[in-house]
Amino acid sequence: MLLRCFTLFLWAVLPLAAAEARTRNLVLVTLDGLRWQELFTGIDAALMNEKETGMRDAQALREQLWHADPRERRERLMPFFWKRLAGRGVVLGNPARSSAVSVTNAYRVSYPGYSEILTGRAQDEVIRGNAKIQNPTETVLEFLRRKLALEPSQVALFASWEVFRWIGERRPGSIFINAGYQAAEGRWVTPRIAELSRLQFELLTPWDAARHDAITYEMALDYLKSVQPRVLCLALDETDDWAHSRRYDRVLESIRIFDRWLEKLIDTLESLPAYRGSTSIVITGDHGRGGTLEDWHGHGAKVAGAERIWAAVFGPDTPATGEAANTPDSFQRDIAPTMLDLLGIDYEEYTGVAGRPIPAARKRD
C-alpha cells in the first residue's frame, strides 16, 4: 500500500518531460457504451444464461466464449486485441488492477461523453443529453485542423450515429464529417464509398438515427486508403444499440466483429508508408453501463457504474506497458489533451481544456 501511494505521488509531481514526438498521424476510435467488464473479463457470467438478455438461443456463443479464467474469456472475445495488440501499448480502466478511467460529466450518456472526449472538458450547463445542438466549443479535431494548417479533408470523422454531425465541430464545415444515414458526396468519394453509401439506405438498422457499423467502418477504411488524412475519428455504435435492445448476444458479436476490424485497421496503417511508424491510435468509449442483470443494458446519471470507462493507446510514442496497474485515476476529459501530447503539441494551447495528458500514454525522458 505504501509503495502504491509513493508511485501515485511520483506520477502527480514529476514534470511531463517527453522525448520528441514521432507521431505524425492520429486515429481515434470510439465504441459506444462498451463496458469495462467485457473488455477486461470477457463474457459476463451473470448475463450469459438469462433469457431476458437475448441469450436464449446462444448456446454455441456461450461455448465459444466461456472459460472460468477471465483472462482466457477476454482473449476468446477479443483475440487480436489481447494477444497481439495490448502488449504494444497501454490499456487503462480495469478497476481490479487499480487503474480507473471515469467520465466527469454529470449525465453519463452519449453526447456529453463524446463532447468530453473531443473537447477535454465537461459542458454540463449546455450539453445535458442527446439533443441535436451544435457543440458550443471548438473540438480538438477543429483545433488540430487549425494548428496543423490542414485542409478539412485531412481531419475526418466517420460515425454510425447521426448526432456526430453536431458533436464533431463548433463551426459546420470545419472538418469532414459523414455520420448516420448520410449520403457520401464530394470529390473524395471512391467507387467503393459510393457503393457503401447506396447500400446504407437498403440495409436498414432497427434504429432511425444510426446506420450499421459495417458501413461506417468500411467507408472510413476506404477514405483512409484514398485520402490519407492526418487525423481520423471512427465512432461505432452497435455495442450500445444492441445493449439498449437487451440483446447481449448481439453485443458480444459486435465486440468480436470490432476485434477483427481493428486488426484490419492496424494492418492497413502498417501497410501504408504515410502511416507506418508514425501513427498513434487512441481507443475509448463514451460511457459505461450498469453492472447487474437489472441495469446492464442502461446508463445515465442514476446508473451505478455508468461513469466507468476505459482507454487504450498505441503508437510510436507510447510505452509497451500492456494492461496498466496501480495508476493514478484518468478521466474522459484527458483524451483530447493526450491526443495533442502524442502529436507533440502543448495541450495548454487548446483554450479551456480541463483535462491533461495521461502520463502512461507517452514515453517520458
pLDDT at 10: 42
Residue 3, domain member (yes or no): no
Predicted confidence at residue 365, as pLDDT, reads 67
* Residue 56, burial from CB neighbour count under 10 angstroms (0-12, 13-18, 19+): exposed
- Identify the pLDDT of residue 3: 41
**Per-residue pLDDT, 8:** 45
Q: Is 62 exposed, middle or buried (0-12, 13-18, 19+ CB in 10 A)?
A: middle
pLDDT band per the 50, 70, 90 thresholds, residue 364: confident
* 118 within a domain of the structure (yes/no): yes
pLDDT (0 to 100) of residue 18: 58
pLDDT digits (tens, 9 = 90+) for 142-179: 999 999 999 999 999 999 999 999 999 999 999 999 99
Angle, helices 110-119/140-147, rounded to nearest 10 degrees? 30
Report whether pLDDT(325) > 70.
Answer: yes
Cell of 270: 502498417
**Among the listed ranges 15-19, 241-245, 288-292, which one has the minimum average pLDDT value?**
15-19
Whole-structure pTM value: 0.94
Least confident of 14-18, 66-70, 303-307: 14-18
Q: What is the pLDDT of residue 9?
A: 43
What's the pLDDT tens digit per position in 24-56? 999 999 999 999 999 999 999 999 999 889 998
Cβ(108)–Cβ(307) under 8 Å?
yes
User: What's residue 51's pLDDT?
Assistant: 86
Q: For residue 2, is it within any domain?
A: no
pLDDT for 262 equals 98
User: Distance between CA atoms of 51 and 274, rounded to whole angstroms?
Assistant: 49
246: left (phi over 0), alpha (psi -120 to 50) or beta: left
CATH of the domain at 285: 3.40.720.10
Dump pLDDT digits (tens) for 67-107.
Answer: 999 999 999 999 999 999 999 999 999 999 999 999 999 99
Q: Say yes or no to pLDDT of 14 above 50.
A: no
- Is residue 6 a part of any domain in this protein? no
Strand order of the β-sheet with 279-284 is 176-179, 155-159, 231-236, 25-31, 279-284, 311-314, 89-92, 322-323
Number of domains in the chain: 1
Q: How high is the pLDDT of residue 4?
A: 46
Domain boundaries, position 173: 22-361
Average pLDDT over residues 298-310: 97
pLDDT in tens, 264-291: 999 999 999 999 999 999 999 999 999 9
Sequence-distant (6+) residues with CB within 8 A of 344 are 20, 21, 23
Residue 8 lies in a domain: no
Strand order through the sheet with 330-331: 308-309, 101-102, 330-331
User: φ, ψ for residue 108 (rounded to 5)?
Assistant: 55, 40
Q: State yes or no: pLDDT of 328 exceeds 80.
A: yes
Listed residue (178, 196, 276, 183) closest to 233, CA to CA: 178
Quickly state the pLDDT bin for 2 (edges 50, 70, 90): very low
Residue 4 within a domain? no
